[in-house]
Chain A
Amino acid sequence: MLVKKKTKNKVASVLVILMLTGSLTACSPDQNQSPDKNQATEVEGFVMGTVISQKVYGKNGQKAVDETMARMQYLDGLLTFNAPEGDIYKLNENAGQKKVELNPITLNIIKKAQQVAELSNGAFDVTVGPLVKSWGIGTEQERVPAPEDIKKLLPLINYKDLTVDDHSAGLNKAGQMVDLGGIAKGYAGDEAIQIYKKNGITSGFVNIGGNVVTLGSKPDGSPWTVGIRNPRPQERMSGQQIVGTVTVTDKAVVTAGDDQRYFEQDGKRYHHILDPHTGYPAQSDLLSVTLITDSSFDADALDTAVFILGLEKGKELLRRYGGVEAVFITTDKKIYVTDGLKGNFTLHDESHEFQYVE
């Protein structure tokens, strides 16, 4: 048909080329979307002992990120164990004495923690507080405690001694301490997204120290590309090298690894994810695990458990929980992904040291 209508087609092809030229020049990325919808607000800040980065699109962006930051500071005060006015401080102060009335947020977080503790047979255990304090990893007092000190503290670590009801919670033994460090940031991430939505934001993300939560897709409709961190970069942290990427919309992507907070002594690495059963930094066959699911609250509690349990037991835990995809990086530098991520995960290993097991 095209061959027959020669003259018309020539005119048509010239027109098409003209139109293409016109559209190409008019189509530079920043001009063809309404300014309000495409306007990005990007801020970083410090909260909960870590960095929070926010990027949101839309005209209420500044309001949304400011409200989020204020909310994060409030949660920090409520949930951090050294904030004297906070719930966790109150709970720990009264250990072995009485139950204390707590904010519904705190109770909600403790309940989730207890659920994951039960499911993981205590691999995730928020009563790990005395050990966290003793090791002091990430603080100026970080050190390897004496083995007899750890032995003394171990009997205090038991989630079954933490009781919670609809109004209050309590610790059974004096000296016991709750530390919500392994779950609070995940809870906060979900709250940030609620604040964005309330402000009419439909596109953005928040990253609270390794807890990324994405809202919608990017303004151009494409999914967010999230990098999976290389847990063994050449230099100590070397500007966040990656080993691969996943693409997501409306999902939380949360990583736990031994590379985020650690110190070295006598050539040995001591990282911040403590195994409640041994009292020492967890030694499984994993360097890191990244979980992808709807809620960062779920993901944050689960990732600590999976990291401590290791590849096989961790996978089993995720199967029982349901609805969670994962990228596992093992100590022998292999990368495994759950079935739902096959076809989504892309290997992009700048170090060429990791092997993707498909």
Chain B
Amino acid sequence: MKKIEKIIVAVILVLSLMSIGFTMLQKPSHSNGKILIKVDNQKVKEIPLNQSPESKIYDFQFHGNTGYVESKNGQVRILEMSKDLCPNGICSDTGWIDKPYQSIVCLPNKIIITIEGDKDDAIDVIP
């Protein structure tokens, strides 16, 4: 191979690798995930997933009441509600979620909290 050809091939290789890198950078990942809060199947709040280790608390409204979610390290959980609003506390017992196929469900108050992010996640659904 002549020198000039080697250079051309090298330049093209570098360019193509850069373009691959660029494409991958543009792909959404968990780092720009969103927390979606729905009540009665209506979106009531959309919050960016907090990636920092310091937790942030956000409020949301449902049926005239206020609920709270906590987010840190790319995870989210719902904070315990009073017994008269949510008698069994199954939603707060769910704990942290961090994947798009997971959800936090509060049946008595019809609240669903999900993460919207990288939809190319390995798992589509869990029965």
Contact across chains for B101 and A240 when beta carbons are under 8 A apart: yes
Q: In this assembly, does A148 line the interface, its C-beta being within 8 Å of a C-beta of chain B?
A: no
Chain B hits for A237, CB < 8 A: 90, 93-95
- Given A239, A242, A255, which contacts B96 in the complex, CB threshold below 8 Å? A239
B57 within 8 A of A: no
A225 on the B face (CB < 8 A): yes
Query: Is A245 a contact of B8 with CB atoms below 8 Å?
Result: no
Chain A positions within 8 Å of B, measured between CB atoms, are 10, 13-14, 17-18, 20-21, 24-25, 27-29, 43-46, 49-51, 53, 55, 140, 205, 207, 210-212, 214, 218, 224-229, 235-240, 242, 245, 253-255, 263, 290
Query: Which one of B5, B19, B123 lies within 8 Å of A10 (CB-CB)?
Result: B5
Per DSSP, are chain A's interface residues mostly helix, strand or loop, or mixed? strand
Q: Give A246 Cβ to nearest chain B Cβ, in Å.
A: 10
Known: A10-B5, A46-B41, A51-B107. 6 other contacts (CB 8 A): A14-B12, A25-B22, A225-B123, A237-B94, A239-B99, A240-B126
Complex A-B: 12 CB contacts under 8 Å: A17-B13, A28-B26, A50-B107, A205-B124, A205-B125, A207-B127, A211-B127, A212-B127, A224-B124, A237-B93, A238-B96, A263-B88
Known contacts being A44-B38, A53-B125, is A28 close to B97, with CB within 8 Å?
no
Contact (Cβ within 8 A) A212 B125: yes
A239 x B97 contact (CB < 8 A):
yes
Cβ distance B93 to chain A, nearest Cβ, rounded Å: 4
Nearest residue (CB) in B for A45 is B41
Residue of B nearest to A13 (CB): B9
Chain A residues, CB < 8 A from B27: 28
Interface string of B80-95 (1 = CB under 8 A from A): 0000000110100111
Partner of B122, one of A10, A53, A140, A245: A245
* With A238-B95, A239-B104, A240-B103: A227-B125 Cβ-Cβ less than 8 Å: yes
Nearest to A19 among chain B residues (CB) is B16
From the candidates A45, A211, A240, A253, name the one contacting B102 in the complex (CB within 8 A).
A240
Within 8 A of A (CB), among B101-127: 101-105, 107, 110, 112, 114, 120, 122-127
Residues of B within 8 Å of A46, CB to CB, are 40-41, 107, 110
Shortest CB distance A206–B (Å):
9
On whether the beta carbons of B127 and A21 are closer than 8 Å, the reply is no
A-B residue pairs, 7 tightest by C-beta:
A239-B97, A235-B95, A236-B93, A21-B16, A227-B126, A212-B127, A239-B102
Measured CA separation A25–B95 after assembly (Å): 40
Q: How far does the alpha carbon of A50 sit from the alpha carbon of B105 in the complex, in Å?
A: 9
Q: List B contacts of A245 (CB < 8 A).
A: 122-123
The answer to whether A10 and B12 touch across the interface, beta carbons within 8 angstroms, is: no
In the bound complex, do residue A255 and residue B123 qualify as a contact, i.e. CB atoms below 8 Å apart? Answer: no
**In the docked arrangement, what's the CA distance between A290 and B126, Å?**
11
A43 CA / B103 CA spacing, docked (Å): 13
Cα of A14 to Cα of B2 in the assembled complex, Å: 13
In the complex the two chains form, what is the Cα distance from A346 to B88 in whole Å?
Answer: 34
Whether B23 sits at the interface, judged by CB under 8 Å, is yes
Flag if A253 contacts B127 (CB, 8 Å): yes
Choose among A49, A212, A254, A255 the residue that contacts B107 (Cβ–Cβ < 8 A): A49
Write out the residue numbers on chain B whose beta carbons fall within 8 Å of the beta carbon of A218: 124
What's the Cα separation between A214 and B32 when bound, in Å? 29
Q: Provide the residues of chain B in CB contact with A29, threshold 8 Å.
A: 120
In the complex, residue of chain B having the shortest beta-carbon distance to the beta carbon of A303: B127
How far does the alpha carbon of A229 sit from the alpha carbon of B126 in the complex, in Å? 7
Q: Is the CB of B122 within 8 A of A225?
A: yes
Bound CA–CA A29/B102 (angstroms): 23
Interface string of B13-33 (1 = CB under 8 A from A): 101100110110011000000
Tell me the nearest residue of chain A to B110, going by C-beta: A46
Shortest Cβ gap from B42 to chain A (Å): 10
Our pick among B8, B23, B127 for the contact of A255 (Cβ within 8 Å) is: B127
Contacts of B96 in A (CB 8 A): 235, 238-239
Given contacts A13-B9, A239-B104, contact A226 B19 (CB under 8 A): no
CB of B127 within 8 A of CB of A235, answer no
With A45-B41, A229-B126 known to touch, is A25 a contact of B94 (CB < 8 Å)?
no
In the complex, A144 Cα to B84 Cα: how many Å? 22
Closest chain A CB from B126 CB (angstroms): 4
**Contact, CB under 8 Å: A25 / B90:** no
Measured CB to CB, the closest approach of chain B to A76, in angstroms, equals 14
